[in-house]
Amino acid sequence: MELERIVAEYISEAKFEDLPNEPVDTIKNVILTILGTTVAGATAEGCQEVVNQVKEWGGKEEATILIHGGKVPAYNAALANSVMARAVDFCDGMIPGIHLGSSSVPTALATVELAGGRNGKEFLTALIVGSEVAARLNLSASAYNGFDPTGVCSIFGAAAIASKIMQLNSKQTLDALALAFNRSGGSFQSNIDGSLAVRLIQGLVSQSGIICAQMAKRGITGPKNFLEGVYGYFHLYAKDDYNAQTVLAELGKRFKMTNVLFKKFPSCGGTLASTDAVLELMKKNKLVPEDIAQIVIRVVPATYNLTGHPFKIGENPKVDAQFSIQYCVANALLRKAPELKHFDEPYIRDPRILEIIKKIQVMPDATLMERGHRTADMRVTTKDGTICHSIIDVPRGYPENPLTEEEHNERFMSCIRYGGKPLPEENIEKIVSLVGQLEAVKDVRALIPLLLC
């Protein structure tokens, strides 16, 4: 129980004054990203239905459903808002596929309303320590082995954030995390099959995080050895291959949550290297779709399993496209710079895209693991026999290849422009200003009215 106790004490005792600038700057980018993707995703497939469902459930009016309006119990507001935040898959991410921001930010906003308000420093601190705990508990692709890291691990971040904002003590926080362990789960089969469960899992993480904190505050206990116990997290999900120092080393001084991906393009992280590769070859060799005879893309097995399967349009075309290397490469070839609208059904069903896809082959290659989890090796053969080659190890948006501040702002504005329920122009400016100076904000609930249409 020693590891669990230390983690819980870290969450409950952390202070804003002890935080370095880097995690603060990172979490501000996460917040702006998620507010943007929430606007963009508000009318995406399934989101209105989730909003309708939580309104039908009714209950105590504790927190706001963003964009759509209306108040419901905090855990259900977080559910709906997280589904919207994840819907366009343009949110932040972390290797090997964990999405933190789409749960952490909606969880924090809903819990702040539930708690009757918190200042910006308290809000930022909760987001940073919760994200840090989840980042330290995050496992490898081989350990997850098909489990969805978001459903398995992000829930610890959501529970930690809710606990911090609700001002739980360390014992209550430990119980909240332990209860969250019993709610963790989810499978990448949802992504492979192109189902709306991908975004619903994100919402269930947020909902469960708040519920677990509320239950812990009421005195409901969880297993004290939820991490290191004989049937704890590290046994069930990491197959006992873990090192406690990975979780504890320089806790509070060195921050893993800064190793976040801010996507350059609105699709699964597993598609980004291939998209970068084809755009690079187009620029260097002036490639156009009509010149292409064949494209062969090799990626690591985990990336292939998630995004390398042959592209098929199923019942949710947007999800099918978001999680397809074939579609993303064909889209880049045809339309140059990928945009959010390119993952809407009319664009997906464009016959020109489907013809290009026939020329693209994706295959797994375990030897690429030596170069890294994100590598894509692309060979393009043109009709005149010319071979063009590109290897991308670190796509744009990863910490080693970060976006510029201008690109961060452009990502946010592209989400605002895409949203089917646009915000008033004056609200957009105020949102950007408030996020930029959050540590000076007296009550973070000031953001909520700005996120209503």
Half-sphere exposure of 425 (CA within 13 A, CB side): 0
Q: Do 344 and 413 fall into the same domain?
A: no
The residue among 292, 109, 86 whose CA lies nearest residue 202 is: 86
C-alpha 161/C-alpha 182 separation (Å) is 17
Q: Do 245 and 357 fall into the same domain?
A: no
Go through 90-115 and write b for each residue having 16 or more CB atoms within 10 A of its CB, e for each that does not.
bbbbbbbbbbbbbbbbbbbbbbbbbb
User: What is the domain extent for residue 381?
Assistant: 269-392
Domain boundary pick from 362, 392, 422: 392
Q: Do 238 and 142 fall into the same domain?
A: yes
Q: Do 247 and 112 fall into the same domain?
A: yes
- How many structural domains are present in the chain? 2
Tell me whether residue 397 is in a domain.
Answer: no
Q: Do 122 and 242 fall into the same domain?
A: yes
Tell me whether residue 438 is in a domain.
Answer: yes
C-alpha 332/C-alpha 282 separation (Å) is 9
The residue among 324, 328, 244 whose CA lies nearest residue 278 is: 328
Cα angle, residue 68 at apex, residues 189 and 117 outer, rounded to 5°: 95
Position 258 scores a pLDDT of 98
Residue whose tokens read 């046994």 = 235
Query: What type of residue is 198?
Result: V
Tell me whether residue 167 is in a domain.
Answer: yes
pTM of the model: 0.96
Q: Both tokens of residue 353?
A: 């895209």
Tell me whether residue 55 is in a domain.
Answer: yes
Domain boundary pick from 392, 413, 437: 392
C-alpha 242/C-alpha 171 separation (Å) is 24
Position 121 scores a pLDDT of 98
Q: Do 115 and 197 fall into the same domain?
A: yes
Q: Do 191 and 281 fall into the same domain?
A: no
- Domain CATH for 300: 3.30.1330.120
DSSP state of 98: B
Domain boundary pick from 342, 368, 392: 392
Q: Do 349 and 442 fall into the same domain?
A: no
Q: Do 52 and 195 fall into the same domain?
A: yes
Q: Do 369 and 425 fall into the same domain?
A: no
In the chain, the largest separation of any two C-alpha atoms, in whole Å, equals 72
3-class SS of residue 180:
helix
Q: One digit per residue, pLDDT tens: the chain, 453 residues?
A: 699 999 999 999 999 999 999 999 999 999 999 999 999 999 999 999 999 999 999 999 999 999 999 999 999 999 999 999 999 999 999 999 999 999 999 999 999 999 999 999 999 999 999 999 999 999 999 999 999 999 999 999 999 999 999 999 999 999 999 999 999 999 999 999 999 999 999 999 999 999 999 999 999 999 999 999 999 999 999 999 988 888 999 999 999 999 999 999 999 999 999 999 999 999 999 999 999 999 999 999 999 999 999 999 999 999 999 999 999 999 999 999 999 999 999 999 999 999 999 999 999 999 999 998 899 999 999 999 999 999 999 999 999 999 999 999 999 999 999 999 989 999 999 999 999 999 999 999 999 999 999
The CA-atom distances, in angstroms, between 390 and each of 291, 379, 387 are: 17, 7, 10
Position 117 scores a pLDDT of 98
Q: Do 249 and 299 fall into the same domain?
A: no
Nearest 10 degrees: CA dihedral of 346, 348, 349, 350?
90
Q: Do 437 and 365 fall into the same domain?
A: no
Tell me whether residue 7 is in a domain.
Answer: yes
Tell me whether residue 153 is in a domain.
Answer: yes
Residues with Cβ within 8 Å of residue 68, at least 6 apart in sequence: 42, 48, 51, 80, 421, 453
Tell me whether residue 40 is in a domain.
Answer: yes
Tell me whether residue 104 is in a domain.
Answer: yes
Q: What end-to-end distance do the CA atoms of the chain give, in Å?
A: 47
Give kind and range of the element (H or E) at residue 197. helix 197-217
